[in-house]
Amino acid sequence: MRSFFSTLLLLNWGLLLVLLLLAAGVIFVEDLIRPEFRPLIFFLYVLIAIFGTFYTSITIARKVTDPLSLVERKTKEINAGDFGVELSYPEIRELANLTISINEMARRLKNQFLDLTVEKEKFNSLLQNLKEGVFAIDGNRKFLFLNRNIPSSIISENSQFKDIQNSVKNRELLQFIETKIKKGLEGRSEFQEGNHYYNVRIYPIKSNEIIYLYIGVILDITEDRQNQLIREQFFQNASHELKTPITSIKGYAETLEYRLNLPENSNEKKFLDAILRNTDRMVRIVEDMLTISRLENHKTILQSQSFPIADLIQSVADSVGVIFSKKNQNLVFDVAPSLLVHADMVLMEHVLVNLITNASAYSPEGSIVMVKAEETFDRYRIQVIDQGIGISTADSERIFERFFRVDMNRSRKEGGTGLGLSIVKHIARLHSGEVFVSPNPKGGSIFTFEFPKK
């Protein structure tokens, strides 16, 4: 196997040698040929030299172009995914090295392609057998992938490579997907199709701030929703059923206290006071349970109106003044008198009462509770800032659950129901807002109630 340079050199030297031998032959026979035939001999010599040069050039070119043509055809086959048979090695060393590299690349790509195919099949099998419905959408708003667990009543079957407008049957889902794709954001929503309830989440897949596709997950939450409805119905029925016997117990206890006229230091008086005190607490629990039931079942219709939030805060402060005076606490305001809030005033009073009394209950004696209210371009914000025991990160995620208490002993001592913050959360949802808690840098907690302007 020779290099291209040595092959070229050998062929050229071979041609030169042949021409020299022919020239020597012509000179030798020149004297033996009559003068009129000498031009013909010279012409034949030139013709043979031209033909030899042409033949040598063609031979050199074919030794290069033929292997290169094979390499070109092989690379096109590799590009098309056909790895085929390996190339044979040409005589020229440089082209042989190129052929070796092409063959090695083809083997490596073939192995990688097989590995990717296996991984793709595994991944596809995994997605197809997930409980959730999974789909992928490209930048042109066409489906790239859908697994079999997406109901055909939501997205049409065989919708791969079809536009989402023509494939998504549920209008709520279509509007949600289009909104998130337009904004380039991830999101989460719920929608209903027939008697089934679904939860959908969508995630943009991006690199260098460029979004390449969107991954969506659809989960059937019908069973969870039915269980939730059963729990809410039980919660509501239990509240109604408890209200009558508790009212009777309180009435009989008050009657006994009035008629017996017991001495203050007697055990009987202490027992009756305990009964009345716990009965009042049970009444508050039942009332809060009924309030939550009304909020959850959407029986509460918002009666929105514009009102000065400072006046409402002052009214609430007057109603809870006794609680603060018992603990020698101060309630201060940071609210502009001209600030008007457009919301349901009765429900906002519930929010303020629950947040302020909660702040008092978990703050020490002689502390300060501050209420702030402000507005931004598109939202209202109300904050209740205390100097209490504070809330850990783990507890802050559960503080708005029913009956959850950070300090059980303190809650019982203060007579809390454990439902106040849950009521606040439901009222926030009714106003399309949110409520959350954050740590106070000076110690304690900051409860923030936000909702949009409408």
Q: Is the pTM of this model over 0.75?
A: no
Report the pLDDT value the prediction gives residue 297, as an integer from 0 to 100: 62
Question: How many whole angstroms separate alpha carbon 128 and alpha carbon 147?
Answer: 5
DSSP character for 261?
-
- Taking alpha carbons only, the member of 429, 337, 451, 442 closest to residue 383 is 451
Q: What is the pLDDT of residues 56-85, one digit of tens each?
A: 777 766 776 777 777 777 777 777 667 667
Distances 166 to 138, 141, 172, 317, 402 between C-alpha atoms, Å: 15, 11, 14, 57, 44
pLDDT of 254 strictly over 60: yes
DSSP character for 323?
H
Query: Which residue intervals of 80-92 are DSSP H helices?
Result: none
Report the pLDDT value the prediction gives residue 309, as an integer from 0 to 100: 92
Of the options 3.30.450.20, 2.40.33.20, 3.40.50.1820, 3.40.50.960, the CATH number for the domain spanning 130-220:
3.30.450.20
CB atoms within 10 A of CB 451: 23
For residue 38, name the pLDDT band (cuts at 50, 70, 90): low
CB atoms within 10 A of CB 317: 17
Question: How many whole angstroms separate alpha carbon 110 and alpha carbon 115?
Answer: 9
Which CATH number is 304-452 given? Answer: 3.30.565.10
Question: How many whole angstroms separate alpha carbon 102 and alpha carbon 111?
Answer: 14
Mean pLDDT taken over the chain: 80
- Taking alpha carbons only, the member of 343, 368, 361, 445 closest to residue 410 is 361
3-state secondary structure of 26: helix
CA R_g for the chain = 44
Side chain identity, residue 28: F
Q: What is the pLDDT of residues 283-328, one digit of tens each?
A: 777 777 777 777 766 555 678 889 999 999 999 898 888 888 888 9
333: β partners: 371
Domain edges within the chain: 4-115, 130-220, 224-296, 304-452
For residue 33, name the pLDDT band (cuts at 50, 70, 90): low
Q: Which two tokens stand for residue 147?
A: 């697994």
Give the residue with greater pLDDT, 194 vs 395: 194
pLDDT of 437 strictly over 80: yes
Q: What is the pLDDT of residues 354-393, one digit of tens each?
A: 899 888 888 888 899 999 999 988 899 999 999 888 887 7
Q: What is the pLDDT of residues 91-105, one digit of tens each?
A: 666 667 777 787 788
Report the pLDDT value the prediction gives residue 65, as an integer from 0 to 100: 72
3-state secondary structure of 108: helix
- Taking alpha carbons only, the member of 390, 352, 388, 389 closest to residue 371 is 352
Say what percent of the chain tops pLDDT 90: 10
pLDDT of 255 strictly over 90: no
Beta carbons within 8 Å of 78's beta carbon, 6+ residues apart: 102, 105, 106, 109
Same fold, 130-220 and 304-452: no
Phi, psi dihedral angles at 67 (to 5 degrees): -60, -35
Distances 131 to 128, 134, 144 between C-alpha atoms, Å: 9, 9, 19
Distances 419 to 294, 361, 389 between C-alpha atoms, Å: 14, 14, 19
Residue 312 burial by Cβ neighbours in a 10 Å radius (0-12, 13-18, 19+): buried
Please compute the mean of the pLDDT values over residues 153-167 and round it to a whole number.
Answer: 87
Question: How many whole angstroms separate alpha carbon 143 and alpha carbon 160?
Answer: 5
Report the pLDDT value the prediction gives residue 121, as an integer from 0 to 100: 76
